[in-house]
Amino acid sequence: MSRKAFQHLSDEALLKHYRETRKPAVFHLLYSRHKDALYRYCVQLAPVSTEQLLRSLWQEILERPPQLDRQLLRNWLFIQVNKLLSKQACRSREVQTHHRTQQRTVLSTIQKLPAKQRNVLLLFVECRLSLATIADIERISLKTCRELYHSAREAVETQIYGTRRKPWQVQAIEE
């Protein structure tokens, strides 16, 4: 059959023919019929991940064409896109919740630091000032400023990641 012969077939007949023959021309015709509508729909709901989402959908169809069971292909496509979007939304909510929890942990840890440590850490990290400048601002020596910065950073890292593990040889030597 030529490409023109496929033009009059319904989406469902084309999908059935593709499932049986795996001809790229048949898949391309199905793809060209639905790609624009699916893209416009997805870009409204998930603009950042639209391309990845649609690529995975079309790849799945290409590798394992679905059995529609009297369902229209167009409906099936939008149902699949909605499933992918909801999975993605759940994952992004989990990631956002994790980030918020981690941010709260970091903020509460920073707030619990002694005032000088907190100020040195924030001036270095947030204001991007050099330790020498911070030492002048705090009216302390550069060595003290460096020690305050490192102890503050270590306290925050310990709160987030837990205590550092020491190699077993070091523990044996220390004992």
Ordered domains of the chain (ranges, CATH): 3-93 (1.10.1740), 113-174 (1.10.10)
Whether the per-residue pLDDT at 43 is higher than 70: the answer is yes
Share of the chain above pLDDT 70, in %: 85
Find where tokens 């850490």 sit: 121
Tokens of 124: 């270095």
Rg, the chain, Cα only: 29
**This prediction's pTM:** 0.51
- What is the structure's pLDDT at 58? 93
Tokens of 82: 């909605």
- What is the structure's pLDDT at 68? 86
pLDDT digits (tens, 9 = 90+) for 103-123: 777 788 888 899 899 889 988
- What is the structure's pLDDT at 167? 61
Q: Is there a contact between 14 and 30 (Cβ–Cβ < 8 Å)?
A: yes
Contacts of 93-98 spanning 24+ positions with Cβ under 8 A: none
d(CA 80, CA 57): 8
pLDDT digits (tens, 9 = 90+) for 81-104: 888 888 876 666 666 676 777 777
**DSSP percent split of the chain into helix, strand, coil, nearest 5:** 80, 0, 20
d(CA 56, CA 87): 13
Average pLDDT of 39-56? 86
